[in-house]
Structure 1
Amino acid sequence: MKLRACTASLICKKIIDQVETDPNIPLGSIQDHFQKTYHVGISMEKVFRAKDMARKHVIGDYTKQFELLRDYALELQATNLDTTIKIDVCPNGNPASPTRFQGMSRGLVGLDGAFMKGPFPGQVLTTAGLDSNNGIYPLAYAIVESENTASWKWFLENLGDDLELGINLNYTFISDRRKGLQIAVDQLFPNVEHIYCIRHIHDNMRKKWGQTEYKDHLWRCASATTIPEFEHLMKEFSEYDKEACQRLKQIPLVHWARSHFSGRAVYDVLISNICEVFNGKIEKGRDNPVISCLEFIREYLIKRICNVMKAMKKAKGPLTLTSTDILNARKKGASQYIAKWNGANKYQVTGALQDQHVVDVRNQTYTCRKQELMGIPCRHAIATLNDMSKDPEVELDIYKWVHKVYWLET
């Protein structure tokens, strides 16, 4: 085939399939392809224009897709039952559109934001929870003009309407203290427990205290589950570097120290990677026009939900796969603990290095707080159950001690 006039439009027609298969195909590869296939030399500027034309043809024009947003919203509502779509137009004409996915039961909500790419600035705000298998469960996403208090407030108001979150909300939010987020949370949900990602706290401290020892002290303090243990570790940190410890104390303990968490949500995470993982999966979609971006996210979520359902079908027993693995690991560790009955409803449980705690059988409370925070029997509880099982009159079922959120039927 011979090309008499190799225009950008003609090049575009020849490379549409290539661009659709690989949107990131290098310009040099296209240039070499035409040289070898058609024996035509074309400038890099013309290749750039042709690829841009092909890309717009494949994923749609950026400006035109904003004009089609309302039609897209109607189509989504018609084909995705119980999905909420809201479009709010600001005075400067920047639209925003969230899509909500149902399903959350652990009381933990992660919040995060990521930059849009392409010619129009913007942010993708996301929120995700944890499912019963300790996997992320995306709940909602929105494209907004910028990340600020007004955008977060609008996003959280819509989320609150969908999930029926009142002003007395008892959920737990976790974030890396995004711009404008704290003010929005305080105004809309004053009773919420807001956890700050410990990794981002470390990143802020690393500018002055970058040694590994600082990170180790910070993580040990944050991971402690009881107040006495926390105070002991903070004392060690202060003896190592008093200034760094004082800097850490400026952040309210309820926002980062596990020992001061309320336990209202069933989780033990200290980092906000549930949303960061989600944002990583949709990164390729963020350089597309608005509808193409939203479709990229929606299709990813469909695939994810189907994969989770397939994984759950492999589970054997009453619990999800991950919770079963955690419980089995704790069963093995419990063999190193000794439980002593006090003659009533409590057991004193002692392990290695004088790890001693009390288990209240009647109220199912544990002074280590590990089960209270995560909802899966700790080694102290399992050691207690092992001792109780020696009594032939006592009928025990360890699964009854596992929070219902981990049950497959839930």
Structure 2
Amino acid sequence: MYRAMEMAKDIIEGTEKEQYGKLHNYLSELLKANPGSTCTMSTHPQPEGLPKFRSLYICLEACKRGFKHGCRPFICLDGTFLKGYFGGQLLTAVGQDANNHLFPIAYAVVDAETKENWKWFLHLLHEDIGDYKEFGWNFMSDKQKGLVPALQEVMPRVSHRFCVMHMWQNLNKGWKDKELKGALWQCARAMTDLEFNNAMAYVKRINVGAWEYLSSYEQSSWSKSGFSEWPKVDNVTNNNAESFNATIVGMRGKSILTMLEEMRFYIMRVMAQHKDALASYTGKLAPIQMSRLEKEKKEGNYWEAQWVGDDEHNIFEVRRHGHRVTVNTLERTCTCRKWQLTGLPCCHGVAAIQRKNH
């Protein structure tokens, strides 16, 4: 039995080594088949023998072009372990298209998840997608090892959100409290500073330790009340990257060339399916956004909009059951901030638009 296991190990290890030896040729073939892609690899030189694999990075031209021309400026970053014989880490950057489908942008295989490897990955990503200041990229991630300082070094002062689900998992290790969980999500979903401050005060009454932990995070990094209005994405969790990693979980245990090829085929197939599904669609908004707007329209029927008397007939006070907000239909803003964060009219905005018969 032991001898059989040793032979199996030698076969597996040999196959893995052979595939690593073919990586340069594989990346060259990728570039030939996908001109404009970025496919690069780095190695550790060895005093004797062949260089040792360090990392590789792939950003296919279709992904690069599709993200810049068809997705919102919002990128989810994540790292996950590989289950093959030699291990390693898979780093991913995933966007979100107009119909809220996840959109893989780039991926890399590295020997370990470190600050230096994240910097290497982010430098290449930065070169592929353009200047983060010009396009206003927003990032979301968990607190991956080395990622936070690497992102701040490569793209200083870039907008960076943290996954609230990950924050709750950290809190839950010390305080298993359903009331605290509800308060945390209330803070995350708060749209205004007033709502956020009230929710945080509630957390403090429940558990001072949890309040101190949450206070260590910038409000703009985890609560909708502090999010940038530019990307038109109000996500508070890193679901895009998590979903992508969950989808490819079966591939992560395979030999490196097999895994990379299956990932490439999966990305190609999913992009083609999404394109085919929308090919005959004629609406002005993507289907998922149209569905969200219909819900706001139904809710808007319960709100009363009153014109305040401005000359341009754009400003309205919208109220219901003593709750009042101000809507400006020209600037497309509401004091609830939902319109600004998502780009879709909130129920208050819908009520004002209907009041204008628009």
List structure 1 runs of 4+ shifted beyond 3 angstroms: 43-53, 166-169
Q: Distance in 1 between matches of 2:353 and 2:133?
A: 40
2:55 aligned partner: 96
User: Partner residue of 1:234?
Assistant: 200
Corresponding residue number in structure 2 for 1:152? 118
CA distance in 2, matches of 1:52, 1:335: 70
Contact 2:132/2:158 (<8 A) preserved: no
The runs of 5 or more residues in structure 2 that have no matched partner are 47-51
Give deviations 1:60-79, integer Å, cap 9, x for gaps. Answer: 91101111111111100111
Q: Is the 8 A contact 2:73 2:138 kept in 1?
A: yes
Q: Say whether residues 1:85 and 2:19 are aligned partners.
A: no
Aligned to 1:382: 350
RMSD: 2.1
Aligned counterparts of 1:206 and 1:314: Cα–Cα separation in 2: 46
Larger Rg: 1
Aligned residue among 352, 364, 367 for 2:335 = 367
Equivalent residue in structure 1 for 2:223, among 244, 250, 257: 257
**Is contact 1:133-1:320 (8 Å) kept?**
yes
Q: Distance in 1 between matches of 2:56 and 2:298?
A: 49
Distance 2:317 2:82 in 1: 55
SS in structure 1 at match of 2:284 = coil
Amino acid at match of 1:77: L
Which position in structure 1 is the counterpart of 2:30?
76
Partner of 1:136: 102
- In the alignment, the residues of structure 2 paired with residue 204 and residue 111 of structure 1 have an alpha-carbon distance, to the nearest angstrom, of 19
Letter in 1 for 2:43: V
Question: SS at the partner of 1:89?
Answer: strand
1:53-107 CA-to-partner distances (Å, cap 9, x unmatched) read 5x78xxx911011111111111001112322101111346223221112222311
Listed as ranges, the matches of 1:5-404 within 5 Å are: 46=4, 61-91=15-45, 93-100=52-59, 101-102=63-64, 103-104=66-67, 105-166=71-132, 170-344=136-310, 345-352=314-321, 354-389=322-357, 396=358
Give 2:49's aligned residue.
none
Aligned residue in 2 for 1:16 = none
Post-superposition shift, 1:237? Answer: 2.1
2: CA distance between counterparts of 1:351 and 1:82? 54
Residue identity opposite 2:115 in structure 1: T
Farther off after superposition, 213-222 or 304-313: 304-313
Query: CA contact under 8 A between 2:75 and 2:140: conserved in structure 1?
Result: yes
Query: Relative to 1, partners in 2 of residues 1:147 and 1:167: Cα closer, same or farther, differing over 3 Å?
Result: farther
Matched-pair identity in %: 31
Contact 1:357–1:367 (CA under 8 A) maintained in structure 2? yes
Residue 36 of structure 1 corresponds to which residue in structure 2? none
CA contact (8 A) 2:227 2:234 kept: no
Q: CA deviation at 1:256?
A: 0.9
SS in 1 for 2:250: helix
What's the offset of the Cα at 1:321? 1.0
Q: Deviations over 1:251-293 (max 9, x none)?
A: 2212111101121211011001101111111111111222111
**TM-score normalised to the size of structure 1?**
0.79
Deviations 1:364-403 (A, max 9, x none): 22111101111111101100011110xxxxxx3xxxxxxx
Moved more, 228-237 or 108-117: 228-237
CA contact (8 A) 2:332 2:339 kept: no
Say whether the 8 Å CA contact 1:347–1:359 is kept in structure 2.
Answer: yes
Quote the offset at 1:239 in angstroms: 2.2
The CA distance in 1 between the partners of 2:208 and 2:308, in whole Å, is 42
Retained in 2: the 8 A contact 1:167–1:190?
Answer: no
Quote how far apart the aligned CAs of 1:52 are.
Answer: 8.5
Letter in 1 for 2:38: T
> SS of the residue aligned with 1:266?
coil
The range that moved more, 253-262 or 374-383, is 253-262
Helix, strand or coil for the counterpart of 2:289? helix
> What residue identity is the alignment partner of 2:24?
R
Q: 8 Å contact 1:168–1:189 — kept in the other structure?
A: no
Give the match's secondary structure for 2:148: helix
Contact 1:149–1:181, Cα closer than 8 Å, also in 2: yes
Unpaired segments ≥5 residues, structure 1: 1-42, 390-395, 397-410
Q: Which residue of 2 aligns with 1:401?
A: none
In 1, distance between residues paired with 2:225 and 2:199?
Answer: 12
Q: Structure 1 residues 50, 190: closer, same or farther in 2, change over 3 A?
A: closer
AA matched with 1:85: C
CA offsets 1:216-255 (integer angstroms, 9 cap, x no match) = 0000011001111111222222222233222211222121
Residue-pair matches, total: 343
* Residue deviations 1:281-338 (CA, integer Å, cap 9, x gap): 1111111222111111101101110111122125341111101111111111111111
Alpha carbons 2:55, 2:108 under 8 Å: kept: yes
**Aligned residue identity for 1:179:** K
